[in-house]
Amino acid sequence: MTNQTNDVIRDAKQLGIPKMLILGLQHMFAMFGATILVPILVNSYFADACGEGPTHGLTVAVTLFCAGFGTLLFHVCSRFQVPAFLGSSFAFLGGFSTVANLNTGMYATMSVNDKAAYACGGVVVAGLMYLVLALIIRLVGVKRVMRFLPPVVTGPVIICIGLSLAGSAINNASTNWFLALVALAVIIIFNIWGKGMFKIIPILMGVVISYVVALIMNAMGITNPDGSAILNFSSVSTANWIGLPPMQFAKFDVTAILVMAPIAIATMMEHVGDMSAISATVGKNFLAEPGLHRTLLGDGLATALAGLLGGPANTTYGENTGVLELSRVHDPLVIRIAACFAIIISFIPKVSAIISTMPSSIIGGVSFMLYGMISAIGVRNVVENKVDLTKSRNLIIAGVIFVCGLGFSNGITFTIAGTPITLTALAIAAIAGILLNIILPGNDYEFGVNEAGDENRGIHASTGKKNA
């Protein structure tokens, strides 16, 4: 294969080192806004529930390190063939929020850092679930596995993830509705009317522009409606220029595992969809070579490692797929350069401290879009796969998932061998959906029949077929 076809560059080395570095920076900025937003949001959950955010693990620095190192690990597992960047997953936000608010058993008197460590332990197990699915796919094939995870199950679960976070967005935005609406408006404007690179990074632009507005308001002496300062730079002045990311090793408890692990059902489907999108963009079928099992292995190991070091779960980023299409440079090497940039920034505490000054109102405004988009992805999953909700079977499954996912606000707590275990709403919803799909007669979902729908889920019936 030629290195350049139809203006597509497959070997970035021909561009020279300066251009390669610029392309790497471009990919880093594409993922930056969404990736750093995850620890900021998680920090706000723990601050609301525990009075303070974690000082070790789940920080901006740890998140950037895990994203960069996880991306490099993914490239090793995928034989350096797939131009994918792994950033922080938003799907696990509901799980982090739930763990932060746990107040039964040992969690009642637990420190915020310990809570964060147990949440990360659940992330580790979620990552290991990828490895199990990768092994099963390797042994029995995609078709048989997908029969247990049809769109009627995955779609409603994803919808519940987004809706369960809606209250958090409102609470954060209510601290300063003006800034929240500025952030939301900027994201919408760049997403719809943005050109070139700016259309790829609407979240980053929303964060940057609204933060500049906050700086101006703060300089003018304007405060939040409750009288508090819009910005507080006390932590920036004391932060060092060089330092190690404040990692902490994960801890494991059944309750936290049952909170986080089931979310992997949704993120694994997200992974497959992203692989299909990257394949279509680059013009190579990565589901066949290096194979879906290898990309799942890489994503799972990256997520498990991130959790082990106190970071949030990783996932393949659609933002960087957009950059691939925009730049027409499809060499995975530029992604690895971006990963190295992320790792370098993680060792600069001053940058993390500046990011941590982000007003909660801006976080709320961005969350308006993000949480809604998570639910919208679930709706699209159902619609594009033509799930027939006039059939009682499908209606029952979807209905039970919705009620479980949104109704069990405090989950279900029970005791096994003297150990209190809590099943959260999302865990109950996922388990109920999978079990009902297995038990109820009339499962008419057959992978490969609705080819367009399967491709929209990111899975192809024929792994030898080239994505178009």
pLDDT in tens, 313-369: 898 876 666 667 666 778 888 889 989 988 998 898 887 777 777 787 887 887 787
CA distance 63 to 50: 21
**pLDDT confidence tier of residue 418, bands split at 50, 70 and 90:** low
**pLDDT confidence tier of residue 466, bands split at 50, 70 and 90:** very low
The answer to the question of residue 284 being in a domain is yes
- Amino acid 379: pLDDT: 82
Do residues 276 and 455 lie in contact, with contact meaning Cβ atoms separated by under 8 Å? yes
CA distance 63 to 68: 9
The answer to the question of residue 176 being in a domain is yes
How many residues would you count in the chain? 468
CA distance 39 to 36: 6
CA distance 89 to 370: 11
Structure tokens at 313: 């779960």
More confident position, 365 or 302 = 302
- Amino acid 457: pLDDT: 42
The answer to the question of residue 449 being in a domain is no
- Amino acid 191: pLDDT: 78
The answer to the question of residue 450 being in a domain is no
- Amino acid 102: pLDDT: 84
- Amino acid 421: pLDDT: 58
CA distance 309 to 330: 31
CA distance 252 to 125: 9
Across residues 48-76, what is the average pLDDT?
Answer: 88
CA distance 38 to 33: 9
Q: How are beta strands 86-88 and 8-9 bridged, if at all?
A: unpaired
**Distances in Å between the alpha carbon of 280 and those of 20, 215, 276, 453, 465?**
23, 42, 6, 15, 11
**pLDDT confidence tier of residue 424, bands split at 50, 70 and 90:** low
The answer to the question of residue 412 being in a domain is yes
Nearest-5° Cα angle at 355, 350 to 356 = 95
More confident position, 129 or 33 = 129
**Number of domains into which the chain is organized:** 1
Domain residue limits at 19: 4-441
The answer to the question of residue 456 being in a domain is no
More confident position, 235 or 230 = 230
CA distance 365 to 224: 15
Structure tokens at 130: 């990828």
**pLDDT confidence tier of residue 267, bands split at 50, 70 and 90:** confident
The answer to the question of residue 163 being in a domain is yes
Helix (H, G, I), strand (E, B) or coil at 88: strand
Across residues 150-168, what is the average pLDDT?
Answer: 79
Which range, of 81-95, 172-186, 420-434, averages the lowest pLDDT? 420-434
The answer to the question of residue 453 being in a domain is no
Ramachandran bin of 207, using left for φ above 0, alpha for ψ from -120 to 50, beta for the remaining angles? alpha
Do residues 411 and 425 lie in contact, with contact meaning Cβ atoms separated by under 8 Å? yes
Entry pTM:
0.70
Burial zone of 198 (CB within 10 Å; 0-12 exposed, 13-18 middle, 19+ buried)? middle
